[in-house]
């Protein structure tokens, strides 16, 4: 065992050295975008008011009996189903049994749930009333006593504001935050509600300068499609009941893929829909699950539990040290494509300006 452990350790050192050498060949701009945090970073990216907080708490291992208290604190007094705060949040598990909250240079430790709820409400009011837009996320540490150590993932989860906001200022801010943080993500969970799978369409996941995001189907290692309220649709429930037996995860994924494919005309012809099916993780937690009919719960519980378990295992595998280093090369291509796209756009703009000046000169002549 010691021999193989030494070999594995040597492989990790070699990979790290090779990665550092690779970074040394890059420009300062791109190298800065590839810095890897010691804690793996997972980003949840999708429309607001779609149950993202419940999903994040499940990933962090917050026990079901504590989720209501944690959600109340993080919502800052707002009711479930409404957007809590129009900014980015970074969630981790605290090293002790108290909350921590960092807002820029202001760090608060040892907070109670009630105090966190008040702090989040104050942050929300400041953002809404003063239209303040910070480039940094609000960092929240959730008490370790709320977390099942067996299920806890040693990750930090970013919840980015939805890029489809109606308010133009909020939409611009959301796009800026996405462009700033997505290149640093080890994994990106594209998130949508079961009745809004058009959210995955390229035009709805587009982030200017990051071409890879709206082509998520080409990188199944980095992207996953997480569909919440997965068994809330009447059509899904009718199909499940028609089976007369518990539905499997594979069957539930196929149902979701069929709904996504109703938007197929918005995707390129070369999309591998079988591969897309494997990228889908149907989830149903919180109030939507509690409100589901008893029979639907009986027929879908195993599949939904398997989906969450498979998602966690997928992230565990993907976030191993060697996998993170390998993924950095994919991020490099993603960032590089963004620079190339911006340069191409700038070139087109310059050409238009030059042509316009030529026309003005001809008119004056």
Residue 300, domain extent: 39-61+153-322
- Would you say residue 109 lies in a domain? no
Identify whether the C-beta of residue 86 lies closer than 8 Å to the C-beta of residue 161.
Answer: yes
Identify whether the C-beta of residue 315 lies closer than 8 Å to the C-beta of residue 44.
Answer: no
- Would you say residue 33 lies in a domain? no
- Would you say residue 34 lies in a domain? no
Residue 39 sits at φ, ψ, to 5 deg, of -95, 125
Task: Write the pLDDT tens digit of every residue in 61-118.
Answer: 999 999 999 999 998 866 655 555 567 899 999 988 999 999 888 899 999 999 999 9
- Would you say residue 275 lies in a domain? yes
* Separation between Cα atoms, residue 219 and residue 275, nearest integer Å: 10
Would you state the structure tokens that stand for residue 4, as one six-digit string?
Answer: 């193989």
Q: Read out DSSP for 97-166?
A: SSEEEEETTEEEEEE-HHHHHHHHHHHHHHHHHH----SSPEEEEE-GGGB-TTT----EEEEPPPTT-S
* Separation between Cα atoms, residue 79 and residue 44, nearest integer Å: 21
- Would you say residue 337 lies in a domain? no
Q: List own/partner pairs for 179-182 with CB under 8 A and 24 or more apart.
A: 179/207, 179/208, 179/209, 179/210, 179/338, 180/135, 181/43, 181/88, 181/137, 182/43, 182/45, 182/207, 182/210, 182/213
Q: What is the DSSP letter of 237?
A: H
- Would you say residue 346 lies in a domain? no
Regions in the chain scoring below 50 on pLDDT: 1, 7-9, 11-12, 33, 339-340, 342-343, 349-350, 353-354, 360
pTM, full prediction: 0.78
Neighbouring C-alpha atoms within 13 Å toward the C-beta of 184: 18
Which residues are within 8 A (CB) of 127 and not within 5 positions of it... i.e. 6 or more apart? Answer: 85, 86, 87, 133
pLDDT at res. 105: 82
Nearest alpha carbon to residue 279 among 309, 311, 306: 311
- Would you say residue 54 lies in a domain? yes
CATH code of residue 257: 3.40.50.300
Domains in the chain, number: 1
pLDDT at res. 353: 47
Identify whether the C-beta of residue 319 lies closer than 8 Å to the C-beta of residue 187.
Answer: yes
Task: Write the pLDDT tens digit of every residue in 199-247.
Answer: 999 988 888 767 678 889 998 888 999 999 999 999 999 999 999 999 9
- Would you say residue 292 lies in a domain? yes
Strands (E), the chain: 41-45, 89-93, 99-103, 106-111, 138-142, 156-159, 187-193, 223-228, 280-282
pLDDT at res. 339: 46
């Amino acid at each position: 065992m010691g021999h193989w452990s030494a070999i594995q350790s040597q492989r990790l050192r070699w990979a790290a050295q090779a990665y550092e050498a690779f970074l040394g060949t890059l420009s300062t701009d791109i190298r800065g975008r590839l810095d890897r945090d010691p804690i793996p970073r997972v980003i949840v990216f999708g429309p607001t008011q779609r149950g993202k907080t419940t999903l994040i708490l499940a990933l962090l291992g917050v026990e079901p009996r504590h989720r209501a208290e944690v959600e109340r604190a993080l919502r800052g007094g707002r009711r479930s189903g409404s957007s809590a705060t129009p900014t980015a949040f970074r969630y981790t598990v605290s090293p002790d049994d108290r909350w921590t909250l960092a807002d820029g240079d202001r760090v608060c430790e040892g907070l109670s749930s009630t105090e966190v709820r008040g702090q989040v409400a104050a942050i929300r009011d400041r953002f809404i009333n003063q239209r303040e837009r910070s480039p940094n996320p609000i960092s929240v540490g959730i008490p370790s006593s709320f977390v099942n150590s067996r299920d806890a993932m040693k990750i930090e989860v970013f919840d980015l504001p939805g890029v489809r906001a109606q308010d133009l200022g909020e939409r611009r801010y959301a796009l800026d935050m996405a462009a700033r943080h997505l290149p640093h993500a080890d994994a990106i969970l594209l998130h949508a509600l079961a009745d809004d799978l058009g959210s995955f369409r390229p035009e709805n996941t587009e982030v200017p300068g990051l071409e890879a995001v709206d082509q998520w189907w080409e990188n199944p290692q980095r992207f996953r499609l997480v569909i919440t309220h997965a068994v809330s649709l009447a059509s899904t429930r009718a199909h499940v009941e028609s089976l007369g037996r518990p539905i499997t995860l594979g069957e539930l994924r196929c149902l979701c893929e069929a709904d996504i494919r109703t938007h197929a005309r918005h995707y390129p012809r070369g999309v591998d829909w079988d591969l897309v099916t494997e990228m889908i993780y149907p989830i149903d937690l919180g109030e939507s699950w509690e409100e589901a009919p008893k029979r639907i719960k009986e027929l879908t519980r195993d599949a939904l539990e398997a989906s969450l378990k498979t998602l966690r295992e997928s992230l565990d595998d993907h976030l191993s040290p060697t996998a993170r280093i390998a993924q950095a090369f994919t991020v490099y291509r993603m960032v590089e494509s963004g620079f190339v796209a911006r340069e191409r756009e700038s070139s087109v703009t310059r050409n238009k300006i030059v042509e316009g000046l030529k026309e003005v000169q001809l008119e004056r002549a």
